[in-house]
C-alpha cells in the first residue's frame, strides 16, 4: 500500500529532482524547435523554465544538508561542486523568478519592486548559450545523482507510479462532483450585470464603443 511506504529524505529529493528535470527537458526541447526568438510561446516557455531551474537548485540545497550524514552523497556533491559554483554566477536568476514570474513586481512584504529597477547589475541567463549551459549543467547533476544513487531511486518508482495514479483517479472524481454544485458562468455573468446596473456602470461593450475601441 502507498500509505505504508516511508520515503527517506534522499528519496524525496530524488523524486522532486526527477519530476522537475522531466519538465525542464521537454520545455528545453520544445523551445529549441521554435525558430523565432520573438515568439511569445518561446518566451513563455523560457520564463517557466527559469522557475523550474530555481526549484531544482533549491532541492539541491537540501542534498547539501543530507550529505553531512551520507558519505556517498557527499562524494557525489563534491564532484558536482564546480558546476554548481559556476551556476551561482547567475545572481539575477532567483530575482527574476520572484519579481518577474512568481510574484510580479512585489517583494515578500508585497511592496512594489519593479523588475526593471531591481534586476539592474545582476547576471541573468538571457542568451542561447546561457540557457544551453544551464540545461547541460542541470542534466549532468541529475544524471550523476541517479547513477550513483540508483538503488534509492528504484525503490521509489513503484510508490511514485501508484500514488500519482491514485491521485489522478480520486481527483477526477472530486473535480466532477465540485463542477456539479458550482455556479455556472452564465449565472455569474447575470449577477455581475445586475451589480453594474445597481452602480450605474455601463456594460463593457458600450464603454468600448464610446471610446472607439
Q: ∠172-177-180 over CA atoms, to 5°?
A: 125
The pLDDT value given to residue 175: 96
Residue 72 per-residue DSSP state? H
Find where cell 534509492 sits.
152
Pairwise CA distance, residues 153 & 156, whole Å: 5
Cα-only R_g, the chain: 23
Domain ranges of the chain: 2-90+125-177, 184-210
Instruction: Give residue-wise pLDDT tens across range 150-171.
Output: 999 999 999 999 999 999 999 9
High-pLDDT (> 90) share of the chain, %: 75
Q: Name the nearest CA neighbour of 16 among 142, 128, 116, 100.
A: 142
The pLDDT value given to residue 2: 56
The pLDDT value given to residue 4: 59
**Three cell numbers written together for 191:** 449577477
- Helical residues (DSSP H) of 115-149, grouped into ranges: 115-118, 128-148
Instruction: Give residue-wise pLDDT tens across range 3-57.
Output: 557 899 999 999 999 999 999 999 899 888 887 777 888 888 888 899 999 999 9
Q: Name the nearest CA neighbour of 164 among 154, 174, 156.
A: 156
The pLDDT value given to residue 111: 94
Instruction: Give residue-wise pLDDT tens across range 104-131.
Output: 999 889 999 999 999 999 999 989 899 9
Mean of the per-residue pLDDT values for the chain?
92
Pairwise CA distance, residues 145 & 162, whole Å: 23
Amino acid at each position: 500500500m502507498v500509505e505504508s511506504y516511508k520515503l527517506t529524505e534522499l528519496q524525496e529529493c530524488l523524486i522532486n529532482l526527477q519530476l522537475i528535470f522531466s519538465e525542464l527537458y521537454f520545455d528545453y526541447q520544445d523551445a529549441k524547435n521554435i525558430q523565432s526568438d520573438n515568439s511569445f510561446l518561446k518566451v513563455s516557455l523560457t520564463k517557466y523554465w527559469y522557475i523550474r531551474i530555481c526549484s531544482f537548485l533549491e532541492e539541491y540545497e537540501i542534498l547539501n544538508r543530507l550529505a553531512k550524514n551520507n558519505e556517498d552523497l557527499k562524494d557525489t556533491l563534491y564532484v558536482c561542486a564546480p558546476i554548481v559554483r559556476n551556476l551561482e554566477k547567475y545572481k539575477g536568476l532567483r530575482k527574476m523568478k520572484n519579481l518577474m514570474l512568481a510574484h510580479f513586481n512585489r517583494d515578500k512584504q508585497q511592496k512594489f519592486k519593479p523588475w526593471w529597477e531591481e534586476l539592474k547589475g545582476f547576471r541573468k541567463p538571457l542568451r542561447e548559450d546561457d540557457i544551453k549551459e544551464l540545461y547541460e549543467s542541470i542534466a549532468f547533476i541529475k544524471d550523476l545523482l541517479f547513477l550513483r544513487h540508483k538503488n534509492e531511486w528504484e525503490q521509489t518508482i513503484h510508490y511514485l507510479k501508484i500514488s500519482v495514479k491514485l491521485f489522478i483517479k480520486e481527483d477526477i472524481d472530486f473535480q466532477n462532483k465540485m463542477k456539479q454544485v458550482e455556479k455556472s458562468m452564465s449565472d455569474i455573468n447575470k449577477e455581475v450585470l445586475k451589480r453594474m446596473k445597481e452602480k450605474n456602470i455601463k456594460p463593457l461593450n458600450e464603454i468600448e464603443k464610446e471610446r472607439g475601441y
